Amino acid sequence: MPELPEQAVVCEILNRRVRGRPIESVEVLPPGGALVVRDLTYQGFVEQLTGAEFAEIRRRGKFLVFHVLRAGSTAPLFLVINPKLTGRLQLATATDKRRAKTDLVFTFSDQSQLRYFDAKTMGQVYLTPNPEIVPGFAGMGPEATEVSLATFRERLRPYRGEIKGILTRSEFLAGIGNAYADEILWAAQLHPYRKRTQLKSDEIDRLYAAMRSTLQDAIARVREGMGESIHLEPREFFAVHLKDGEPCPRCGGMISVVTANQQITNFCRTCQPGGLIKGM
């Protein structure tokens, strides 16, 4: 799933590559396109976007928000993409072969294209007059890269569950998913199944610092690894996530894996002590 670092870099590239280019045509491709595309204006997805242009693209949490400008109209209009687990965007030319499960294609006046493909048809692409009415959007907490330590502490206080589960709750902070939660907790040397109520003050400070540094470092690494290929998800630099059985980069111990509720958690039992969880 694209998380904050990937979406931040994708947003940078889209603003450089597609912003301000007139949209010549829009294709919603069966069968997946009918499930992916959601027109919350009820005035025609293709009709409203054909001839328009993307004035600005921004990120909010794991969402991408395209501000749409239409000639002769001042009414607000936004394209909001929630890729979820398997949705990806791709920059292409009109002659490039389309990937399987391509659901949506924007062709610009220079014949370049922006495509959305989704291997499991899990994501959604909304056309809306207001991003706040998109499911899951309005309830997000502050951005994980922008929150202060004081606000982090304040928002953390009401939660009592396992710290990894809290980190991945979008209403707590926006942008962190399963993969980067593993990386943040490894950097903070905290066991993912520690309860929030068990964390000491200095451990909370350490968690906050690890969150900021992990995400900022990842943005730089993703920027380098992605290039202009926005459909890629470069994560070779990860320390623990999906590295089960490999040596921990910090202590050399074996990285463990726990699979529960269709979620994979990786951590080092040696330098992230504090849990009696069955696993590798």
Domains and CATH numbers, the chain: 4-133 (3.20.190.10), 149-268 (1.10.8.50)
- The number of C-alpha atoms within 13 Å of 32 and in the hemisphere containing its C-beta is 19
Q: How confident is the model at residue 247, as a pLDDT? A: 97
Q: How confident is the model at residue 276, as a pLDDT? A: 53
Q: Which amino acid is at 42?
A: Y
Q: How confident is the model at residue 260, as a pLDDT? A: 83
Q: How confident is the model at residue 279, as a pLDDT? A: 40
Q: How confident is the model at residue 275, as a pLDDT? A: 64
What is the secondary structure of the chain as a DSSP string?
---HHHHHHHHHHHHHHTTT-BEEEEEE-TTHHHHHEEESSSS-HHHHHTT-EEEEEEEETTEEEEEEEBTTB-S--EEEEE-TTTEEEEEEETTSPPPTTEEEEEEETTSEEEEEEETT---EEEEES-GGGSTTTTT--SBTTT--HHHHHHHHTT--SBHHHHHT-TTTSBS--HHHHHHHHHHHT--TT-BGGG--HHHHHHHHHHHHHHHHHHHHHHHHHHTT-TT----TT-SSTT-TTSBPTTT-PBEEEEEETTEEEEEETTTS--------
> Mean pLDDT for each 10-residue chunk of the chain (280 residues)?
97 97 97 96 97 97 98 95 97 95 97 97 97 98 98 97 97 98 98 96 98 98 97 96 97 94 92 65
What's the whole-model pTM score? Answer: 0.95
Nearest to 68 by CA among 47, 89, 42: 47
CA distances from 166 to 113, 192, 214 (A): 38, 10, 17
Note whether 126 and 134 are within 8 A (CB). yes
Chain centre to alpha carbon of residue 237 = 17
Pull the structure tokens for residue 44.
Answer: 């025609």
Nearest to 265 by CA among 189, 179, 163, 176: 179
Q: How far apart are CA 78 and CA 70, in angstroms?
A: 11
Note whether 207 and 184 are within 8 A (CB). yes
Residue with tokens 């993912």: 192
